Structure 1
Amino acid sequence: MLRVVVLGAAAGGGVPQWNCGCPVCQAARTEHPELQSTQASVAISADGDHWFLINASPDLRAQLIATPKLHPRAGKLRDSPIAGVILTNGEIDAVAGLLSMREGWPFTIYGHERVLAILKSNSIFNVLNEKNVRREPIQLERNFEPSLPDGSPSGIEILPFAVAGKGAWYLEGQPHPAGKDGEGDTLGLRIRDKATGKHFFFLAACADVTDDLRSRITGAPMVLFDGTVWRDDEMVRSGLGTKTGQSMGHIAMSGETGAIAALEGLGIDRKIFLHINNSNPALLRDSEERLILERAGWQIPKDGTEIVL
């Protein structure tokens, strides 16, 4: 069985964001603590014993403490069931948590060469000694099977593919460490249990639902999809920022070209939004936006939500 644990569902900054007084963050601090959410990352396993993270959020340490399945096994002085981390982009939201895994335990980082080049160019990631923490390049449109610590197959087959998006914000105006522009900065993943054939798609960052993407995910048992903003200009309208969703590389939930409309009628069994910004009014359970979202068959998960396929 393919097990999926949503470690966090929020976008950068989490909910509440440390310096934000927007309605969602205020509610999360006061009368609605159930709104609190850490930054987006999930854990997957085919055997229930060995786990792989998809992205390593800045909140990873707290997420691991809150998830007993990811604790060291009893009687072990040093131990972790985490065998690897699969990176879908090089944003701070996806890679900063790697620094919380620097204590000498072996695991493998899987990422496109454009993302691995970002890690290599930043000396702070040298704390992850490559003798212990291997960096394994993955290629677009080529299946790979992450390995268990002893080198045996994990039973999970992953297909990375390019989706519309942007490179890491902090590289804007600078030469990319990987050189010329190319695909690979923003990935979607199809994750399949080789034993059962069950699969799901992970797309925590996506700027557009293309015909190719629509055909890939049609009929999927589950899709975890980018839910950063409700409206493309919501951060500008609310006074929280100057960037639109599109300028940040994210599609809006609503609107004629938004995710809800674009993924309607594709026969997806379970549709879940991930990477949801604190500005997004759909986080408020009594909001009109939340009602629209749920009527369309979408869910917003709590941290720690476990799904078995």
Structure 2
Amino acid sequence: MKILVLGSAAGGGFPQWNCNCHNCAGVRAGDPRFRARTQSSIAISADGVHWALINASPDILAQLKQHPELQPARMLRDSGISAVILVDAQIDHTTGLFMLRERASQLPVWCTEPVHQDLTTGNPVFGVLQHFCGVDWHPLRADPPTPFSLPELPDLRFTPVALASQPPPFSPRRGRAHREDNIGLLVEDLRSSRKLFYAPGLGAIEPHLDEFLAQADCIMVDGTFWTDDEMIRLGLSRKTAREIGHLPQSGGDGMIARLSPYASARRILIHINNTNPILDSASHERRMLQNADIEVAFDGMKIEL
């Protein structure tokens, strides 16, 4: 299995267009401790030709330009993207669908029923795309987890897993969460039996997740915030990380502590907010991650399982 990190930042990217925090200022100043990042998305393949795009970020065109392996050039109009899998309906994971509208046939999109509802009502992305390439929607079930495969990637099996979350702010169901508003994915290479667990939006590690985390060879999960009050302390929000839907890294019940039972797996943080001090490669917080043997994803990172 080939895993390509197209983007590793949270919504807004890094640097964020209107932010002058310590981290964003460091990128603009050319400080080598900081590395610019686009908004979170990965691509997965078994053969290096056919790829599943996991989330379509607003930066998708720039990401595709950086990765020629996603353009096999077999005909005049072509793409290595065989299908798109959405883990939620958030703007930073779905806006890029608009950029794929020139596709010659309907765009195959796999997502849960609640996500489909939000993308046809509160933010009618799918309705807009019907005026262009159209959408070939495939419903997936995460509660209970129901495995599926993609026609052009038969060697990979995807198992969606429901995560505790809230629907997006534009959702007609805001405040009335559904178990399938946000999912994680266990991806297995059927040839090697190697597995990836991917969850860029992880607000809590619930008991039912243990069986999926325990069998993964690589765990790539939410790295949005370092502390629960990060945005409050900076005066950027009145909500904690957990209230926004993200498990912070620090603290006795934070991501670092919760990932410690799975030390045999390669553990990587993705979807990193521009305010998070781990974006400073020389920071104390980054050293703490290194001491815990936890990596920080970056754009262009390649993993083979």
> What TM-score do the two structures reach when normalised by structure 1?
0.92
Verify the 8 A CA contact 1:160 1:189 in the aligned structure 2: yes
**1:187 corresponding residue in structure 2:** 183
> What is the correspondence of 1:136-155 to structure 2 with a 5 Å cutoff?
136-140=138-142, 141-148=145-152, 154-155=154-155
**1:257 corresponding residue in structure 2:** 253
The DSSP-based 3-state class of the residue aligned with 2:158 is strand
Once the two structures are TM-superposed, the CA of residue 219 in structure 1 deviates from its matched residue by 4.5
Query: Structure 1 residues 181 and 230, CA, compared in 2 at 3 Å: closer, same or farther?
Result: closer
Is 1:229 aligned to residue 231 of structure 2?
A: no
State the distance in 2 between where 1:69 and 1:297 align.
30
Once the two structures are TM-superposed, the CA of residue 155 in structure 1 deviates from its matched residue by 1.6
Once the two structures are TM-superposed, the CA of residue 175 in structure 1 deviates from its matched residue by 3.6
Residue identity opposite 1:146 in structure 2: L
Once the two structures are TM-superposed, the CA of residue 267 in structure 1 deviates from its matched residue by 3.5
Aligned-pair identity in percent equals 38
Query: Structure 1 residues 44 and 124, CA, compared in 2 at 3 Å: closer, same or farther?
Result: closer
What stretches of structure 1 of length at least 5 have no aligned partner?
A: none
Once the two structures are TM-superposed, the CA of residue 99 in structure 1 deviates from its matched residue by 0.7
Corresponding residue to 1:211 among 202, 207, 211: 207
State the distance in 1 between where 2:246 and 2:55 align.
17
Verify the 8 A CA contact 1:223 1:268 in the aligned structure 2: no
Verify the 8 A CA contact 2:101 2:133 in the aligned structure 1: no
Verify the 8 A CA contact 2:165 2:179 in the aligned structure 1: no
Q: Deviations 1:234-272 (Å, cap 9, x if unpaired)?
A: 011022222211111100011011010011032332100
Bigger shift: residues 213-222 or 58-67: 213-222
Is 1:13 aligned to residue 12 of structure 2?
A: yes
> What is the correspondence of 1:81-120 to structure 2 with a 5 Å cutoff?
81-106=80-105, 107-120=107-120
State the distance in 1 between where 2:246 and 2:61 align.
26
**2:127 corresponding residue in structure 1:** 126
Question: What's the C-alpha RMSD, in Å, of the aligned pairs?
Answer: 1.8
Once the two structures are TM-superposed, the CA of residue 198 in structure 1 deviates from its matched residue by 1.1
State the distance in 1 between where 2:124 and 2:9 align.
28
Once the two structures are TM-superposed, the CA of residue 137 in structure 1 deviates from its matched residue by 0.3
Once the two structures are TM-superposed, the CA of residue 5 in structure 1 deviates from its matched residue by 0.1
The DSSP-based 3-state class of the residue aligned with 1:110 is strand
The DSSP-based 3-state class of the residue aligned with 2:161 is strand
State the distance in 2 between where 1:240 and 1:19 align.
12
Once the two structures are TM-superposed, the CA of residue 274 in structure 1 deviates from its matched residue by 0.5
State the distance in 2 between where 1:288 and 1:202 align.
26
Bigger shift: residues 224-233 or 97-106: 97-106
Verify the 8 A CA contact 1:83 1:108 in the aligned structure 2: yes
Q: Deviations 1:142-185 (Å, cap 9, x if unpaired)?
A: 0000122xxxx5321000011122211333xx446xx9743100
Query: Structure 1 residues 132 and 125, CA, compared in 2 at 3 Å: closer, same or farther?
Result: closer
Query: Structure 1 residues 274 and 96, CA, compared in 2 at 3 Å: closer, same or farther?
Result: same
What stretches of structure 2 of length at least 5 have no aligned partner?
A: none
State the distance in 2 between where 1:169 and 1:224 align.
25
Verify the 8 A CA contact 2:113 2:139 in the aligned structure 1: yes
State the distance in 2 between where 1:95 and 1:77 align.
26
State the distance in 1 between where 2:216 and 2:52 align.
21
The number of aligned residues is: 299
State the distance in 1 between where 2:94 and 2:124 align.
14
Query: Structure 1 residues 165 and 181, CA, compared in 2 at 3 Å: closer, same or farther?
Result: closer
The DSSP-based 3-state class of the residue aligned with 1:263 is helix
Bigger shift: residues 287-296 or 258-267: 258-267
The DSSP-based 3-state class of the residue aligned with 2:281 is coil
Verify the 8 A CA contact 2:43 2:51 in the aligned structure 1: yes
State the distance in 2 between where 1:104 and 1:214 align.
39
Residue identity opposite 2:206 in structure 1: T
Residue identity opposite 1:52 in structure 2: A
Bigger shift: residues 87-96 or 233-242: 233-242
Residue identity opposite 2:220 in structure 1: L
Residue identity opposite 2:127 in structure 1: N
**2:293 corresponding residue in structure 1:** 297
Verify the 8 A CA contact 2:111 2:140 in the aligned structure 1: yes
State the distance in 1 between where 2:275 and 2:220 align.
20
State the distance in 1 between where 2:104 and 2:223 align.
33
Bigger shift: residues 129-138 or 107-116: 129-138
> What TM-score do the two structures reach when normalised by structure 2?
0.93
Corresponding residue to 1:270 among 253, 266, 273: 266
